[in-house]
Amino acid sequence: MKKFLFLFCLFSLFFTIIPTKTIAENVDVVLDKNDASSSFVIKDSTKQKLMSINTDSRSIGLHCSTEGSNSLALGGAYTTATKLLSVALGSYISAEANHAFVIGVGSNAANRLTNTIPDSLMIGFGNTTPILFVSGDATNGTVGIGTSNPQAKLDVSGNVNFLGSVSCSLDKSSDVFKISDSRDDKIFKITSTTLEIFSLTSTAKIGIGTSTPGSTLQIKGNTAIGYSTSTSAPANGLAVYGNVGIGTNSPSTNLAVQGSAIIGNPDSYYTNVTASHGIILGGGGVYQGQRTTLTNDKPYSLMVGFLSSVPTLFVSSSEGGNTIGKVGIGTSNPQATLDVNGKINANNIDTTVIDTNTINAIYIELSSGSSIGDNIVANSSLRAKSLSGHGTFAVEADNNGTLIYPSSDKRLKKNIKTISEKMDVLKSLDKLRGIYFNWDTSKEKVKDMGNQKQIGMIAQEVEPVLPEVVGTGSDGYKSIDYAKLTSFLVEVNKAQQKEIEELKSRLQKLEEKMGTTK
């Protein structure tokens, strides 16, 4: 009886909605022959099903089929609702899961908009992918726009355009705001009609004022950090109000750098710091067509240099404790507190040399033809004036610091031979000459020597006889170490004295024979 009443009500509703003429001419009402007790079907004159009612499953289909219990399908022939309490409204669509809802239009019979997710709503038109997808409850549910597989509370596949204000409240437990895109372009962008305000690329680069950042953070235009109402940053510049720390979070000055640093040419092709806390001021580069690379590989040191692989100035750290470091000029490997690789030119020198050894020693390295003018003062009493020559000078003072002696300790020497054993000093003396001369002040090297008459020797004449006292400078000019001639002259004097003694002996014998002995 209940089934009959249900069928009667639906039948009455259908014929109330459809005009009488249409019913009379186009509609047939039949019972399903397979199960007359459970189905009610309305067909048109072409036998096309217009409406079906299944009383057992309590499902209704309007111009489409229903197979699920308590399901509803409204639309075309390719609209189906196959599961419990499923609903399909439209054409070329299918609800194929319990409590699945589909509203819209699929592509065609072979490409229907299909919802296979229980407890969900799918809305779409002209495609197999929904425009809107909603699933789950209020706590765990998700909403997808342009996707049927949302991975978050709201998952949008495609561009998003916000018109008006937008606010975002983050979960305190996670505090995560995530924007991602699988394409290699911008994934977040804020623009005005004329400006690129902010952009975030999929390669994790942020641009402010530019849509094509080349660095992790790139700002186009001036930037100010800190607070100031009086001045603004310069065009395309940076103004920082407060202390800046690089490598440290507690800078005590305007700029504090913890670690290595390069100030000048930062291109690693020309300038490198490979040691901890190394600093370079300047850098390498291209000089006269040649590439130079300046590298600081010394920990805790400073190099100053430009367009050269050798620093002009090098300052090394101390070796620990209270010891001082070393300074190199023209070298990155100083062997003394001050090590100069090259010539030194200084005026008005009055330098005090302090030495705590028992013997006060000053060691002066001189290349050929070099000279040191004026005074070198040690302990206020030791003075070396106008040193010249080549090789190494070693001058010493006694414990009182009042006398100067050439360093000549036998313990410091080897291969000792008397000069007269190696050569005929008298014949060699005949090959030497002393001269008067004036300096040719038109030459750069001696332009300040004055026009006074001088005495001396010619280096080119001395060199074949005594090459040990002649040196040749890097400029090709020769010099004589006159102090070393003393050793030669001592042997000459001894040889002459020997001849004198021999002549005196012969003369005495001759006088004795002649009876004229005094």
Tokens representing 514?
């002649």
CB 248 within 8 A of CB 256: yes
**Which run of H or E residues covers position 243?**
none
Residue 71 CA neighbour count, 13 Å, CB half: 31
Whether pTM exceeds 0.85: no
Angle at 468 between CA 462 and CA 473, to 5 degrees: 80
- Looking at per-residue confidence, does 315 or 160 come out higher? 315
Closest-CA residue to 360 (of 412, 401, 394, 406): 401
Q: What is the pLDDT of residue 229?
A: 59
Confidence at residue 259, expressed as pLDDT on a 0 to 100 scale = 86
In this prediction, residue 52 has a pLDDT band, given cuts at 50, 70 and 90, of: low
310 SS3 class: coil
CB environment 255-276: b (16+ within 10 A), e (fewer): eeeeebbbebbeeeebbbbeee
Residue by residue, DSSP assigns 362-420 as EEEEEEEEEEEEEEEEETTTEEEEEEEEEEEEEEEE-TTS---EE---GGG--S---HH
Report the alpha-carbon distance of residue 461 to residue 106 in Å, rounded: 113
Average pLDDT over residues 316-326: 71
Mean pLDDT in residue range 297-305: 91
* Burial degree of 461 (CB within 10 A; 0-12, 13-18, 19+): middle
Enumerate residues 6+ apart whose C-beta is below 8 A from 95. 68, 71, 73, 80, 81, 82, 83, 86, 87, 88, 101, 102, 114, 115
What does the pLDDT average to over 376-388?
43
pLDDT of 120 above 60: yes
Q: pLDDT higher for 439 or 324?
A: 439
* Digit-coded pLDDT (tens) for 398-407: 555 444 556 6
pLDDT, position 516: 60
Residue 240's CB is within 10 A of a number of other CB atoms, namely: 14
Quick: pLDDT tens for 186-204.
Answer: 667 777 777 777 788 777 7
CA distance 117 to 131: 15
Lowest mean pLDDT among 101-115, 139-153, 331-345: 331-345
**pLDDT higher than threshold 60 for residue 413:** yes
pLDDT of 5 reads 46
57-114 confidence digits (pLDDT tens): 556 666 566 666 778 888 776 888 888 888 988 889 999 999 999 999 999 988 999 9
Q: Which of 6-10, 85-89, 304-308, 321-325 has the lowest mean pLDDT?
A: 6-10
pLDDT tens digit sequence for 417-462: 998 888 898 899 999 999 999 999 998 888 878 889 999 999 999 9
Look-up of token digits 């009493």: 381
Looking at residue 433, what is its pLDDT? 94
The answer to whether the CB of 82 falls within 8 A of the CB of 72 is: no
User: Interior CA angle at 293 toward 292 and 299, to 5°?
Assistant: 150
Question: Considering only CA atoms, which of 256, 257, 295, 260 is closest in space to residue 276?
Answer: 260
Better-predicted residue by pLDDT, 226 or 171: 226
- Quote the pLDDT of residue 178: 55
Question: 211 or 516: which carries more pLDDT confidence?
Answer: 211
Instruction: State the residue for tokens 């206020």.
Output: 380
Mean per-residue pLDDT, 498-505: 91
Residues of the chain with CATH 1.10.10: 417-518
> ∠ at Cα 18 (17, 23), nearest 5°?
145
pLDDT confidence of residue 177: 53
Query: Is residue 489 a contact partner of residue 496, using CB atoms and an 8 Å limit?
Result: no
Query: In this predicted model, what pLDDT tens digit does every residue of 210-259 receive, in sequence order?
Result: 878 888 888 887 777 776 656 677 777 777 778 888 888 888 888 888 88
* pLDDT band, very low/low/confident/very high, at 50 (cuts 50, 70, 90): low
Report whether 292 contacts 271 (CB < 8 A).
Answer: no
Of 206-210, 292-296, 325-329, 373-377, give the lowest mean pLDDT range.
373-377
Highest averaged pLDDT of the listed ranges 256-270, 370-384, 490-504: 490-504
Return the higher-pLDDT residue of 40 and 131: 131
At 285, the amino acid letter reads G
Q: What is the pLDDT of residue 266?
A: 83
Average pLDDT over residues 279-294: 88
Laid out side by side, the sheet with 338-340 consists of 261-264, 278-283, 301-306, 313-315, 327-329, 338-340
- The predicted pLDDT at position 132 comes to 93
The DSSP line for 427-476 is: HHHHT---EEE---TTSGGGTTS-S--EEE--HHHHTTT-GGGEEE-TTS
**Which of the four CATH numbers 3.30.450, 1.20.120, 1.10.10, 1.25.40 does domain 417-518 have?**
1.10.10
C-beta separation of 25 from 14 below 8 A: no
The token duo for 312 is 């002009």
- What confidence score (pLDDT) does residue 121 get? 94
Q: Which residues of 340-356 are buried (b: 16+ CB within 10 A; e: fewer)?
A: eeeeeeeeeeeeeeeee
Q: How many residues does the chain have?
A: 518
Residue 319 has pLDDT above 80, yes or no: no
Average confidence (pLDDT) over 483-488: 89
DSSP per-residue codes, 172-239: TTT-------SSSSEEEEEE-SS-EEEEEETTS-EEES-SS-SSSEEE-S-EEES--SS--PPTT-EE
Q: What is the pLDDT of residue 39?
A: 62
Distance CA 310, CA 341 (A): 11
Helix (H) or strand (E) holding 93: strand 93-95
* CA distance linking residue 301 with residue 358, whole number of Å: 33
